[in-house]
Amino acid sequence: MSVNSNSALPKHIGFIMDGNGRWAKKRGLERKFGHREGAKTFRKISEYCCELGIKYVTFYAFSTENWKRPKDEVDAIMSLFESYLDDVRSHVDEKIRVIFIGDKAPFSDSLRNKMIALEEDSKNFDRMTLLLAINYGGRDDIVYSVKKIAEEVKKGNITPDEITEEMISDGLYTKNVPDVDFIIRPSGELRLSNFLIWQAAYAEYYFTDVLWPDFSKKDLDKALEDYLNRKRRYGGI
């Protein structure tokens, strides 16, 4: 089954970019070099998704739990975000919308302002929507939404009985973005790691031992071929 321009391709793909540190360790390098290679793969794969006509792509770049890593590694990742933003800026030039999901508050004013500017400059583009999950956690996302709903209940605008799934979805960082259809995780780890846990209710999953810096267009083709051979049931038969 051909991947190129197949109408049955997922509308929204999520990537858990995992394996950068192990990639570096296998080569006797510091972990930061793995993250640099991972940034190159991000650029390559995001461009290829656009070529394939995928409308929404979410990359899990930094989780709320990643702050627990050694300070020197976190500092290296933070400095790399500048490179990420340079790559993302080129996507804006290609008429791609950029959305950052997660809590921006802990970042420096400079980084946060660049993120906000990218979102603003690309808000009217629709060739593809690129979502970068930075300081993101699925549980935190749900709490973020529930707090907003709780405020509406407190104000008397709604009652608890009136709360719906749609209200929760509308309060998430991914508001107005369709639920993820297909989640790909390189590196051999078999877990979701708190990624889009509300939005992934009926997602298909694909795991591969390939480390993220080595993940290629051919690897994505292989994953998509697997997806195309599945039948999504959404809880039915």
Tell me which residues are annotated as active site: 18, 66
| DSSP β-bridge partners for residue 57 | 13, 130
Under a CB-based contact definition with an 8 Å cutoff, are residues 31 and 70 in contact?
no
Element (H or E) spanning 206, and its range?
Answer: strand 204-207
SS3 125: coil
| 10, 55 contact by CB (below 8 A) | no
Measured on CA atoms in the order 180, 55, 20, 225, is the torsion positive or negative?
A: positive
Q: For residue 168, what is the DSSP state? A: H
28: which residues sit within 8 A by CB, 6+ positions away?
none
Q: Please identify which residue in the block is written with the tokens 């197949």.
A: 6
- Strands, sheet with 204-207, edge to edge from the N-terminal-most edge strand: 97-101, 129-136, 56-63, 12-16, 182-185, 204-207
Measure the CA–CA gap between 133 and 173, rounded to whole angstroms: 9
| Beta bridge mates, 193 | none
* DSSP 8-class letter at 212: G
Tokens, residue 73: 């590694």
Coil/strand/helix, residue 209: coil
